[in-house]
Amino acid sequence: MPIYKAPLRDMRFVLNEVFNADAFWQSNPALSHVDSDTVSAILEEMAKVSENVLAPINRSGDEEGCSIENGVVTTPKGFKEAFKQYAEAGWIGLGADEQFGGQGMPKMVTVMTDEMIFAANPSFTLYPLLSIGAAMAMAQHATPEINAMYLPKMYSGEWAGTMCLTEPHSGTDLGIIRTKAEPLADGSYAISGTKIFITGGEHDLTENIVHLVLAKLPDAPAGSRGISLFLVPKFLVNEDGSLGARNPAAAGSIEHKMGIKGSATCVMNFDSAKGFLIGKVNQGLAAMFVMMNYERLSMGIQGLGASEAAYQNAAAYARDRLQGRSATGAKMPEKMADSLLVHPDVRRMLLRVRAHNEAARCFAMYAAQILDQTKYSDDPAVSQAAADRVALLTPVVKAYLTDKGFDACVEAQQVFGGHGFIREWGMEQYVRDTRIAQIYEGTNGVQAQDLMGRKVAKNNGVFVASFIAEIRDFNATLAGDANLAFIHNALEQAAKEIEVATQWVIEQANRNPDEINAAAVDYLHAFGLLCYAYMWAKMSKAAVGKDDVFYADKLRLAQFFTTRMLPELTSRLASLKSGSDAVMNFEMSYF
């Protein structure tokens, strides 16, 4: 059975020593209730939940999956009990506003708890995750009356939430959705249509499910400008908060998937179901994107959680597995063979995974701190700058962490050799479960296009220039320290290469719009490597000069990253500069 142990030592290093969280919280009156002792206790408790409650039902949940009969969906054995325990402990409302029953913890805290539960059981995690995302969209766009009625129940785990966007003919292109909303005399709407790929659309974990549904009014403008957002509950809610009649919003079937089989992915049919407008008419995408951007950041954490769990199992296997002898002479002469760890290629795989994990964890915390600045800063200029940075980095966190997380799971599986392909070791489940993270909440190709098109070319590289300026300001603090010269020089070179490539693509796109999409994935991966280099510089500065093996190993891993992984940035940009002709110079009939 796979193992998992929450990496609390590294989490605390990133939180307290790299980002100096206590000082950040105490400098902001809205976060003065947060302190490192409280957060440490939260992390300890979540580690217990992840290791002892969620991880043990991960494999069994995959093997059993969900089932549907007469529209009733049953989750795998143990999920209902685990969800009840999880909800009653207050975990769903950990980061929620206190006025709705939440605990008001910042994103810098929930980014770590999310990593643990994703590592332990991604299928389970999607149920509370969708509720949190739906509640966030409602909190910002629903009426006070709706929020007072629904949010406390959602944060307590009594009710769940979903997001209903995709239709059989309409995936990324939401402008062509067909779901209709007919106005009713009482101010509500009759919602009719079919949505697919709806995570948690139906299940047995909660007594009610709150669907957020994109639909169009009869006179709506064409395209995405005509989309509105509606709240459609599974059971209608009476004025006193009790549940009323069953709404005609039901699961027609569940999908049979490659992975995350413990998560119910439903086809949802809305047959004149009663719905309530959230936000303004024809501005549904703006409201839904509150939820979508939250989910995109969470998907990046899913990739990190999976690769951390995969690494722990691969490293344990490599320590114990005896195969062959070291090329420089037997290291375990008393045994029939040496450990796999004597072989450089096995170490290469493990180090690549670990270097990704530690950089990704730091990058996720960096993004979390910026999100907290957008929410809690009382300085409008700081909030706006942070919002711009979040816009730039959201597609990177989502796509790069999931791309590299999946690669890491495959690499960790490879350490096992043939055993990695056998079900009992658990590695093939990590690979299958993580694959979806590159697809849902906007495929990674779409994320790359969003980065290259909207966040770079559209504003002529202003967001990138600001980010690189920050990197250079930080990098200047490393100058003169011989122990950090390796990362200082590597980071400056990476920043320069991204700076040049950014302007190159912008110039080329002015002549040929296809250049944006053709360059997008290579640019995102190169940009992701720059972000990782920045994180390794931050971690190296926090580790240098400290007399402990933890810090010495951190610096050694930083050197591995700069010499064995960062050079991919240059090759990615070389591929990018081949231009769009290399991919567009084929007739459609060729395919």
Residue 525 tokens read as 């991966």
For residue 253, CA distances in Å to 129, 246, 403 come to 22, 18, 30
Q: Are strands 159-164 and 208-215 parallel, antiparallel or unpaired?
A: parallel
Q: Is 441 a catalytic residue?
A: yes
Alpha-carbon distance of 474 to 464, in angstroms, equals: 15
* Closest to 200 in 3D by CA, of 210, 215, 187: 210
- For residues 293 and 136, the answer to whether their CB atoms sit within 8 Å is no
Active-site position among 295, 441, 492, 515: 441
- For residues 233 and 209, the answer to whether their CB atoms sit within 8 Å is yes
Which stretches within 321-379 are classed as H helix? 344-376
191 strand-pairing partners: 181, 273
Taking only Cα atoms into account, the Rg of the chain, rounded to an integer number of angstroms, comes to 24
Alpha-carbon distance of 84 to 63, in angstroms, equals: 22
The amino acid sitting at 397 is V
74, burial (CB in 10 Å: exposed 0-12, middle 13-18, buried 19+): middle
- Find where tokens 């050197």 sit: 559
523 strand-pairing partners: none
Q: CA-based diameter of the chain, in Å? A: 85
The amino acid sitting at 330 is A
Beta carbons within 8 Å of 553's beta carbon, 6+ residues apart: none
Query: Which active-site residues does the annotation give?
Result: 441
